[in-house]
Amino acid sequence: MRTDKDYQNRLYSYKRNIYLKGEKVGRDHPSFQPGINAVSENFRLALNPQYQDLFTTASHLTGKRVNRFNCPPRSIEDLLKKIECVRALAQYLGGCALRCGGMDSLSGLSVVTREVDQEFGTDYHQQFLKFLQYMQDNDLVTSILLTDPKGDRSLRPYQQADPDMYLRILEKKSAGLVVNGAKLFGETAVQDELTVAPTRAMTEKDGPYALSFSVPADYDGVTILCKPVQAPKRKKIKAPYADYGYPGITITVFDKVFVPWERVWLCGEWKYAGRLSSLVALYHRTSYCGCKAAVTDLMLGAAALVAEYNGLEREKHIREKLAHLAATAEQVYACGVTGAVKAKPSSSGTFIPDPIYINAGRYHAGMNIFHEYETLSDISAGQGINLPTEEDFLTPELDHFTKKYIKRKADVPAENIWRLFRMVDEMLYSEQAGFWQAAGLHGGGSPVMERLTILANYDMDAKKSLVKRLAGII
Ligand SMILES: Cc1cc2nc3c(=O)[nH]c(=O)nc-3n(C[C@H](O)[C@H](O)[C@H](O)COP(=O)(O)OP(=O)(O)OC[C@H]3O[C@@H](n4cnc5c(N)ncnc54)[C@H](O)[C@@H]3O)c2cc1C
């Protein structure tokens, strides 16, 4: 297993293929550092005996102890541990663990490559398992790249005016495929490998768009356009919260990229595009049941501490708001646990969580996210945005003002008040806060996708039958 330094050194050695504000940059650009710090913690914790059980597991391929983020779940216990692991990591980092997406795409692929082989007699699964072992042995980080540009949303992929609105197969050769297009979103600047899968179900005419593969992140023909997300910046008053953050959101372009057959996971088997897309999304929403619970934990912790420092922790209206946050966190988490406990094995041996509970959990998280921001904003009442700057707070001749006029309860030191409200300001009103809000609503699929998935899997007739019997309708 790699150390954090191994991860960083390999990342920094990659070919320059990232554009950031018009400049071609290396992975050592300071903009990526908060994200690299966050991923690095995963490597550190995985090597810490205290966390080994949560962050590592025995590979079903080799029996070796490997990072959990490279292991599709082989049991209910694996799924439960994955949720615990993601929640613990997001609590520790104060935000995204930046690793679960890769595990989720590998999990979906481990199921679907086997199912495609069973129907078409292809050889995707064995090839995929070799790739999985490569990922495990080298302790690499991969992505979840599903979202295509999509163009006109009312049209299918093959109907688009520009055929590249969905990543597609351009040409089949004896040694592999040439692919063209792009995938939107993701944090590919801090990843070793890019794993892509379809974003939606396909029809026969969409065949060239039923495509999945993995290539190295600095592979020939891959260009990454990165929009930085400004992380909190501290000069002197350091805090762990300000060390971690998002490394920048990316558009990953595949410009006539050649993918060798041993890295292709789906190639025109259109019937399985929807299956792969919905399974990867399902695994990712399972992760969200851990990480979104952690985000709410932090909102709750911050709101409770503000109330305590303000001397208002016993106020009924505040306690009710805190109870609502606690209920949200635990309902989302409980949906994840229920989805995991009701998981069933697939033909590949990978366990598939229950889609209704998982989607209910992710949906509940998405529908509550802005209310959580509202609650913390309400209880903290804007003090964060009116806090003395770090420079003023550290200027001795201003002590008389800065340390005096931000005071709350007499026994809470001014510096603790400054630290708390600074973090609350960053959680609520910073550029990064806006980014997390979008992620809280849309990451893993917008709420409409969860509603549709619940409806598609729900036995509505059974509910109608209950009422028919009670109403005496035959
Ligand atoms: C912070 C963040 C991180 C993300 N990370 C990743 C990632 O790592 N990997 C990844 O693959 N994706 C990622 N996503 C993408 C995310 O999953 C998508 O934003 C989400 O699935 C919505 O897709 P879209 O942006 O194309 O929206 P759209 O499809 O444009 O949806 C916009 C609205 O239009 C509606 N709509 C769309 N099509 C139709 C239709 N045919 N009929 C009726 N209504 C329609 C939708 O319901 C929605 O309300 C991320 C998103 C965010 C915000």
Tell me, using a 6 A CB cutoff, whether residue 437 lines ligand 1: no
The closest residue, in CA terms, to atom 42 on ligand 1 is: 154
Can you give the pTM of this predicted structure?
0.97
Integer Cα distance of 394 and 399 in angstroms: 8
pLDDT of residue 234: 86
The closest residue, in CA terms, to atom 17 on ligand 1 is: 445
The rounded Å distance from CA 32 to ligand 1 centre is 24
The closest residue, in CA terms, to atom 44 on ligand 1 is: 153
CATH number, domain 276-471, options 1.20.140.10, 3.20.20.60, 1.10.10.10, 1.10.3720.10: 1.20.140.10
Helix (H, G, I), strand (E, B) or coil at 42: helix
The rounded Å distance from CA 182 to ligand 1 centre is 15
- Integer CA distances (angstroms), 131 to 1, 45, 69, 173, 296, in order: 16, 24, 14, 21, 36
Question: Which one, of 183, 205, 185, lies nearest residue 257 by Cα?
Answer: 183
Q: Is 368 exposed, middle or buried (0-12, 13-18, 19+ CB in 10 A)?
A: buried
Boundaries of every domain in the chain:
276-471
Integer Cα distance of 274 and 410 in angstroms: 59
pLDDT of residue 413: 97
pLDDT in tens, 245-304: 999 999 999 999 999 999 999 999 999 999 999 999 999 999 999 999 999 999 999 999
Tell me, using a 6 A CB cutoff, whether residue 146 lines ligand 1: yes
Pocket probe mutation, ligand 1, options 143, 446, 455, max atoms within 8 Å of Cβ? 446
The rounded Å distance from CA 442 to ligand 1 centre is 6
Q: What is the mean pLDDT of residues 315-344?
A: 98
Which residues, 6+ apart, have CB-to-CB distance to 405 below 8 Å? none
Q: Which helix (H) or strand (E) holds 365?
A: helix 355-380
DSSP sequence for 87-100: HHHHHHHTS--S-H
Q: Which helix (H) or strand (E) holds 464?
A: helix 460-471
- Residue 469: CB atoms within 10 A of its CB come to 10
Residue with the two structure tokens 């509505």: 460
The rounded Å distance from CA 144 to ligand 1 centre is 14
Integer Cα distance of 130 and 418 in angstroms: 52
Tell me, using a 6 A CB cutoff, whether residue 182 lines ligand 1: no
pLDDT of residue 433: 94
Closest ligand 1 atom, residue 444 Cα: 17
Question: What's the first-to-final CA gap in the chain, in angstroms?
Answer: 63
φ/ψ (deg, to 5) at 193: -130, 150
